[in-house]
Amino acid sequence: MGIVEAILLSVITAATPLVLAAAGELVAERSGVLNLGVEGMMIMGAVCAFAATQLSGSPYVGVLAGVGAGALFSLLFGFLTLTLVANQVATGLALTLLGLGVSGMLGESFLGTQGIKLQPIAVPLLSQVPFIGPLLFRQDAIFYLSIAIVAGIHWFLFRTRSGLKLRAVGDSHASAHALGVDVIRTRYLAVLFGGACAGLAGAQLSLVYTPQWVENMSAGRGWIALALVVFASWRPWRVVAGGYLFGAVSISQLHAQAFGIGIPSQFLSSLPYVATIVVLILISHNRRMTLINTPASLGKPFVPDR
């Protein structure tokens, strides 16, 4: 039972940044914006969170810095794609490359520095419940935030007037504009929220998952988060299920090596990305479901005066 509990705790820690990044990207894509810069925003959140924690001595200050870094990077993306109407795919890729380069430069002085870990918060009484208590009620603040954010996104998208407007912008920005919805403002706010979530995911990497700074420590998680949005069919709670599935795949390689299973380590390390490809192939076969849930204006630029 102790081994199972340890494995599940590892899965939760590995899945949390995927859930956060994918949830933020889901909101952006629901508004019709395809931001491929999730990886860049995550790594910037990671380095800024670690640096702020080291300088202030408080991991909570680091969390705020990570969120702010992701949000600022997303504003750069928004300015280029929404104001200057640059190509969203090319801009997102450039944002990822920029984030990887800038983070390496900012984090150079922190290499090898011992990090300050964000400590878990024990919920009174519930954390004492055998097995379930340590898994769900003795976690760090970012884990609780990830669940609250997904629940909030679901409520916002499907229970509020503003969420209806955001989905309308993603489905037909021309029609939404004709009805008086400020398309550009709505998309700016969605992109900003997505960047903040990606920055928070990066902060989790450098303050909880591996409390230290390692160059390129996001290790492709931003790309997995993008695939998770498609896997979830743009539905918030499916993002959670997919995030924990991919988190389990990521952790399985580590435990397989620890148990001495005779599989090449290179193959085990590639498992999360192989799983991503397999899932996308399976989803592509169900074309009807994909078309029903995909925002019709996804990736399409909008200029009000045209």
Q: What is the pLDDT of residue 146?
A: 96
Q: What is the pLDDT of residue 281?
A: 76
Does the residue 302 lie in any domain? Answer: no
Q: Between these two residues, 270 and 25, which has the higher pLDDT value? A: 25
Does the residue 257 lie in any domain? Answer: yes
Using the predicted structure, report yes or no on whether residue 163 has a pLDDT greater than 80. yes
The CATH number given to whatever domain includes residue 238 is: 1.10.3470.10
Determine the structural domain holding residue 86 and report its residue range: 2-117+136-293
Does the residue 259 lie in any domain? Answer: yes
Does the residue 163 lie in any domain? Answer: yes
Does the residue 305 lie in any domain? Answer: no
Using the predicted structure, report yes or no on whether residue 167 has a pLDDT greater than 70. yes
- pLDDT (mean) for 104-133: 89
Rounded Cα distance between 261 and 253, Å, is 10
Using the predicted structure, report yes or no on whether residue 156 has a pLDDT greater than 80. yes
pLDDT single digits (tens) 41-58: 999 999 999 999 999 999
Q: Residues of the chain with pLDDT > 70: what percent?
A: 90
Does the residue 127 lie in any domain? Answer: no
Using the predicted structure, report yes or no on whether residue 288 has a pLDDT greater than 90. no
Using the predicted structure, report yes or no on whether residue 169 has a pLDDT greater than 60. yes
Count of domains in the chain?
1
Confidence of residue 175 (pLDDT cuts 50, 70, 90): very high
Confidence of residue 249 (pLDDT cuts 50, 70, 90): confident
Rounded Cα distance between 170 and 45, Å, is 27
Does the residue 111 lie in any domain? Answer: yes
- Cβ-proximal residues to 209 (8 Å cutoff; 6+ apart), any chain: 13, 14, 16, 17
Q: Between these two residues, 271 and 226, which has the higher pLDDT value? A: 226
pLDDT single digits (tens) 271-281: 777 777 777 77
Confidence of residue 103 (pLDDT cuts 50, 70, 90): very high
Using the predicted structure, report yes or no on whether residue 21 has a pLDDT greater than 90. yes
Does the residue 126 lie in any domain? Answer: no
Confidence of residue 82 (pLDDT cuts 50, 70, 90): very high
Mean pLDDT estimate for the chain: 89
